[in-house]
Amino acid sequence: MRRSCRRPTGRPPRRGLTLVEILVGLVVLAVLIAVAIPSMSDLLERRRVIAATDEIAGVLAYAKAETVAISTPLWVRFDPDPNNTLSCTAVVTLSSQDTCRCYYPADDICPNTGAKLLRLYQLPRQHVRFSAQASAWGGPANYISFSRDQMSISARNFQVNVVGMRKGYTLRVEVNTGGRVKICSPGGSINGYAVCT
């Protein structure tokens, strides 16, 4: 005796999505993605600028604290890369020769000197760039020095501007003559930070 597999009457047959429904869904998804991409790239740029700024502020605070701990003057270098591919900073011990450059490879920052590398931050310039400026360097350009006995830095009006390459979001790290580090936002381009004066 065989039983037949018949559908109960009154129930519509099951069916999947039609090609038109799938295409409409894909068009809606594409529109949502097109709307979200610009705001997502803005968010990523702001995050990159904030992360780089926090790292630079951390390097400067580290140099000041380490000078006290080891009783040795330290240089914080911000050498401009001649190839314009890196933004960098390095904390090195003082040496008689000025051959250290933060854009050199990490294992050879200070060639042919007794200087030691204590901390290094190198950032490709494809998304974010930073550069240091001062009204007076107090010695060779592009570095500041911290020393234990003189709890001040050698440069005057020292600042590091961190700029996003796409939209130009900017934060600034300022160091006063006492070595105190402050982060501010020029023009208020990034919320949550005081506007630079």
DSSP codes joined into one string, 53-106:
HHHHHHHHHHHHHHHHHHTS-EEEE-PPPTTS-EEEEEEEE--SS----TTS-G
Taking the C-alpha atoms of residue 163 and residue 197, their distance in angstroms, rounded to an integer, is 18
Per CATH, which fold does 20-188 belong to? minor pseudopilin epsh fold (3.55.40)
CB atoms within 10 A of CB 105: 8
Per-residue confidence (pLDDT) for residue 1, from 0 to 100: 54
Amino acid at 186: P
Q: With a threshold of 0.85, does the pTM exceed it?
A: no
Each domain of the chain, given as residue ranges in start order, spans 20-188
Q: Residues with Cβ < 8 Å from 181, sequence gap 6 or more?
A: 57, 60, 61, 64, 173, 174, 175
Mean pLDDT per segment of 10 residues, for the chain of length 197 residues?
Answer: 60 76 90 79 90 95 86 87 93 82 89 86 92 84 78 78 92 85 90 89
Q: What integer pLDDT is reported at residue 104 of this predicted model? A: 92
pLDDT at 72: 79
Please report the pLDDT score of residue 68 as a whole number. 80
Q: Is 183 exposed, middle or buried (0-12, 13-18, 19+ CB in 10 A)?
A: buried
pLDDT at 13: 65
| Alpha helices, DSSP H, located in the chain | 19-70
Distance CA 21, CA 16 (A): 10
What pLDDT does 8 receive?
Answer: 59
Determine contact, residues 80/88, Cβ cutoff 8 Å: no
Tokens found for residue 146:
């911290």
